Amino acid sequence: MTQPPSGVVAIYPGSFDPITSGHLDVIERGSKMFSRVIVAILQNEAKQPLFTVAERMEMLRESLTGFSGVEVDAFQGLLAEYAMAKGARVILRGIRAISDYEYELQMALMNRRLQPGLETIFLPASETFSFISSKMVKEVISLGGNINGLVPPLVEDRLKRRIANYKRTSST
């Protein structure tokens, strides 16, 4: 296997609430393409996340043990500015469907307008993971469904505990 190009840094941004097997697939594939991949959690309080930024960072770090050239960070504000501050020239995005592409293309063009040297690379989801989203995983587990294999085991355990706590506190 060839080594990734020396010095090319990519940012893989997202909410990762929680990280899924699909995210891990994109990270693994990206780590083979770039010398460094920064998995960056966007701090967006408007989304009302299930997990805090600190919890998501911890789950990401635990899930990424053994990945070479991958680090975890969090940011607020414009992705284009964050990427430049980190010395990244590439934004890495996973695409599951045409509907993802439409939105992601708009974001890519805006980021390039804000920072002309910043490029976005779209990786199509692996067939195995093309239907997985964090939102769907949370919905399935909250309704008692099986999410085995959709998220790392440590994330599944945390989701089960968090959902059980919500159900317990909302029923009192």
21: pLDDT strictly greater than 90:
yes
User: Which of 29, 86, 96, 162 does the annotation list as catalytic?
Assistant: 96
User: Which of 23, 36, 56, 93 does the annotation list as catalytic?
Assistant: 23
96 is catalytic: yes
Give the three-class secondary structure for 163: helix
Closest CA to 72 of 108, 104, 24: 24
The pTM of this model reads 0.91
47 is catalytic: yes
d(CA 5, CA 103): 28
What is the tens place of the pLDDT at every residue in 26-84?
999 999 999 999 999 998 877 789 999 999 999 999 999 989 999 999 999 999 999 99
**Which DSSP category does 128 fall into?**
G
User: Which of 56, 134, 138, 158 does the annotation list as catalytic?
Assistant: 134
User: Which of 47, 61, 113, 160 does the annotation list as catalytic?
Assistant: 47
Domains of the chain with bracketed CATH: 9-131 (3.40.50.620)
Handedness of CA 37, 95, 33, 8 (dihedral sign): negative
134 is catalytic: yes
- Range with the poorest average pLDDT among 10-24, 43-57, 81-95: 43-57
Quick one: tokens of 34? 């770039």
Give me the residue label for tokens 């990280």: 19
**Which DSSP category does 168 fall into?**
H
**Which DSSP category does 1 fall into?**
-
d(CA 130, CA 113): 29
